[in-house]
Amino acid sequence: MSDDARRLARATLPEGLRPETLAVRTALAPSQHGENSEALFLTTAYVQPDAETSARKFSASEDFTYSRTSNPTVRSLEARLAALEGTEAAIATSTGMSAILLLCLGLLKAGDHVVCSRSVFGSTINLFAKEFGKFGVETTFVSQTDVAEWRAAIRPTTKLFFAETPTNPLTDICDIRALADLAHDAGALLAVDNTYSTPALQRPAALGADIVMHSATKYMDGQGRVMAGALCGRAALIHDVFGPVLRTVGMTLSPFNAWVVLKGLETLSLRMKAQSEQALAVALWLQAQPEIDNVYYPGLASHPQHDLAMRQQSGQGGAVLSFDVKGNTPEEARAAAFHVIDSTRVISIATNLGDTKTIITHPATTSHGRLSEAQRQVAGIGQGLIRLAVGLEHVDDITDDLLRGLSTLTTR
């Protein structure tokens, strides 16, 4: 490339750029048109100049041939994700769940064993216990916070540790460094679901995690528009282990969705910081409300793993918090929680997070509705529990909206 072309294309960035810059700038080089916003390549196939070139590209599976295998927009997203997580490479998938599916297909076979926190995302538990259980992969579910339980669960066949931190909805924190050391001593790999914190707050690879998994559906898109997922890690894992599986199995990310997430990443650090600050303000406000028993938020000094969370998450608590509305019986607590939820006029009643719009959820009857009451009690998901994924509305409008229900509860 000539100097002029390089200057036009900004094809190579200088070394040592900071994460905020990488989030805006990392991508494949622009086309000959010099577009400033990365192009959206909606194409399934790529025309080759001749049969010889086509044959070479197919055997190398490096260049663009067919979009199940690779697409320039998806490649740009993968480059940006890897830059943000500080890993050598990344591979994008159609959803967060399909990223975990790819992880399992790439690393596990019948007879292998997995150790997983019992507080991870519900579908993740089902994927390990039910779907991979069918194929002879056994999973032991252990405490989110007690490293001794992870150690006790290790078998000679243990290949993978899977953790998620903070957890949904109670925001329990696990010690990524401690789990990485334990996994490596056992000859296993550690995968961390970093959906909640995103690399703007937490970089699991820097703490020893081998694979960082994402539901980019959440904060990476950030505006609740598209589904996407990813695995980030060493090139040897991403290109040699997961790449071939994805090409065969086809949990490929749509270029349109990749483009939306690519644009979302440009504002990720601003949004995460602002939404974390808002969540802390809401958590402090909730703590002072008489109708509320407990507030679960890593940014509060009262959180059991507050110090670890602040170390691991760049001093931020993240955008998700939960709280228990008081009630003498589970029925009373549920009625009170429903009253608070139904009294909102601004906040969205939905079961999602990672949006600029604040979302309110009743976990016991939605995300955790398939559990038995006994399982919910073990998990600490009471009928009075409400989850709030704090967005970017004015913080006083969020607390006013919660006060509508809290101030009219019969317990007041």
> Which residues are at the interface with ligand PLP (CB under 6 A)?
95-97, 121, 124, 164, 168, 193, 195-196, 215, 217-218, 227, 229
- Give the whole-angstrom CA distance, residue 163 versus residue 116: 6
> Are 81 and 90 spatial neighbours (Cβ–Cβ below 8 Å)?
yes
Contacts 24+ apart (CB under 8 A), 5-12: 8/34, 9/34
Nearer to ligand PLP among residue 210 and residue 355 (C-beta): 355
Least Å from the CB of residue 90 to ligand PLP: 15
Q: Are 362 and 386 in contact (CB under 8 A)?
A: yes
Considering the complex, what minimum distance in angstroms separates the CB of residue 196 from ligand PLP?
6
d(CA 26, CA 199): 15
* Nearer Cβ to ligand PLP (207/336): 207
CB of 109 to ligand PLP, least distance (A): 23
Tokens 């990223």 locate to: 99
Bridge partners for 211 per DSSP? 191, 233
How far is residue 87's CA from residue 94's CA, in Å, rounded to a whole number? 20
Please report how close the Cβ of residue 186 comes to ligand PLP at its closest, in angstroms.
24
Q: For residues 96 and 363, which CB has a smaller minimum distance to ligand PLP in the complex?
A: 96
Nearer to ligand PLP, 218 or 334 (CB): 218
Closest CB to ligand PLP: residue number: 96
Nearer to ligand PLP, 95 or 289 (CB): 95
Judge residue 159's burial from the number of C-beta atoms within 10 Å of its C-beta, 0-12 exposed, 13-18 middle, 19 or more buried. buried
Q: Which is nearer to ligand PLP, 197 or 305 (CB)?
A: 197
In Å, what is the CA distance from 245 to each residue of 98, 306, 317, 330?
Answer: 12, 39, 35, 46
309-313: long-range contacts (C-beta < 8 A, 24 or more apart)? 309/166, 309/173, 312/165, 312/173, 312/175, 312/176, 312/202, 312/207, 313/166, 313/197, 313/201, 313/202
Contact present, 182 and 151 (Cβ < 8 Å): yes
Of 186 and 227, the one with the shorter C-beta distance to ligand PLP is 227
Minimum distance of ligand PLP from residue 411's CB (angstroms): 32
To ligand PLP, the closest distance from the beta carbon of 148 in angstroms equals 24
Q: What letter does residue 45 receive in the DSSP assignment?
A: B
Closest CB to ligand PLP among 96 and 384? 96
CB atoms within 10 A of CB 114: 24
Give the nearer residue to ligand PLP in terms of CB position, either 97 or 205. 97
Residue 53 C-beta: closest distance to ligand PLP, Å: 36
Tokens, residue 51: 């049969």
Quick one: tokens of 175?
A: 């010690």
Q: Among residues 76 and 257, whose Cβ is nearest to ligand PLP?
A: 257
Least spacing, CB of residue 215 vs ligand PLP, in Å: 3
383 residue type, one letter: Q
How far apart (Å, rounded) are the C-alpha atoms in residues 209 and 191?
6
Considering the complex, what minimum distance in angstroms separates the CB of residue 95 from ligand PLP?
A: 3
Q: How far is the CB of 300 from ligand PLP (least distance, A)?
A: 21
